[in-house]
């Protein structure tokens, strides 16, 4: 399974997978673990040696991962993933696209050939009273800018991903704009019970994506009818961070 992650600079594309590695090492993840490569090596490779921060991605990078996922059937399966990380400038800065036409065309080609696309969106000003004092407040977009960027990304996906099997859209770093404790407790994945993916998707879309409901409806009404699934994720909430990967693992366990 090839999964390409796209989104703005600093939206958390690399840190999402590093968080899976850290959760594997620390034992905070229950249903998704990185079996290969060695998660500690992955953390080191993707971190700035001087600061320990996640190193920025300047070019397309590919990493074969072996994920050990607890599937809805109750069985644990190894799922091979070709994780494709991308530079945020490629998707958010037309000047970068114009200056790097060959790299951009290669990314667009890779996007269309992937089996799954995970689009990470930044949070927007949803409930500002909860987040104004956080140091990351400047990363949160105003609602109109957020809607504009979502529309641009959906247009990109519709143009270049007609045969992609699964498109997942997540507001990442969602803890910056909303208290996720209730979501974490409500949607904690458990292999012993039937997880209601459809109900989860409807809830997340109505709660966090209602701002762009008209844009999503228009997107879903046009060919090739991609109908993405919606999530909210945060590296600080493992139960939510796992869900996109469990969802994909259920489909690609035999790939």
User: pLDDT digit string (tens) for 135-153?
Assistant: 455 578 889 999 999 999 9
Spell out the CATH class of 2-252: alpha beta
Which of the 8 DSSP states describes residue 85? Answer: E
Which residues are 65's β-sheet partners? 81
**Tens of pLDDT, residues 18-54:** 999 999 999 999 999 999 999 999 999 998 766 668 8
Q: What span, in angstroms and rounded, lies between the C-alpha atoms of 150 and 157? A: 11
> C-alpha angle 232/237/239, rounded to 5°?
80
Residue 92: its H or E element:
helix 89-92
Among candidates 41, 46, 32, which has minimal Cα distance to 76?
32
Question: Contact at 8 Å (CB) between 55 and 14?
Answer: yes
Is residue 182 scored above 90 in pLDDT? no
Pairing outcome for strands 32-36 and 61-70 = antiparallel
Whether this prediction's pTM lies above 0.75 is answered by yes
């Amino acid at each position: 399974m090839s999964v390409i992650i796209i989104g703005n600079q600093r939206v958390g594309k690399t840190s999402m997978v590093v968080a899976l590695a850290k959760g594997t090492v620390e034992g905070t993840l229950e249903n998704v673990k990185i079996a290969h490569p060695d998660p500690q090596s992955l953390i080191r490779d993707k971190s700035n040696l001087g600061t320990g921060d996640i190193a920025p991605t300047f070019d397309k990078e590919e990493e074969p991962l072996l994920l050990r996922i607890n599937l809805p059937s109750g069985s644990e399966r190894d799922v091979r993933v070709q994780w494709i990380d991308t530079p945020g400038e490629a998707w958010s800065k037309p000047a970068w696209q114009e200056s790097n036409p060959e790299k951009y065309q290669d990314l667009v080609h890779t996007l269309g050939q992937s089996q799954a696309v995970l689009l990470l969106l930044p949070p927007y000003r949803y409930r500002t009273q909860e987040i104004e004092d956080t140091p990351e407040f400047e990363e949160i977009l105003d609602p109109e800018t957020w809607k504009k960027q979502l529309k641009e990304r959906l247009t990109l996906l519709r143009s270049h991903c007609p045969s992609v099997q699964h498109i997942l859209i997540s507001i990442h770093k969602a803890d910056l704009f909303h208290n996720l404790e209730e979501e974490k407790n409500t949607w904690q994945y458990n292999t012993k019970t039937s997880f209601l993916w459809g109900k989860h998707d409807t809830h997340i879309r109505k709660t966090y994506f209602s701002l762009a409901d008209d844009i999503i409806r228009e997107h879903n009404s046009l060919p090739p009818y991609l109908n993405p699934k919606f999530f909210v994720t945060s590296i600080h909430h493992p139960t939510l961070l796992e869900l996109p990967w469990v969802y994909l693992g259920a489909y690609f366990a035999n790939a």
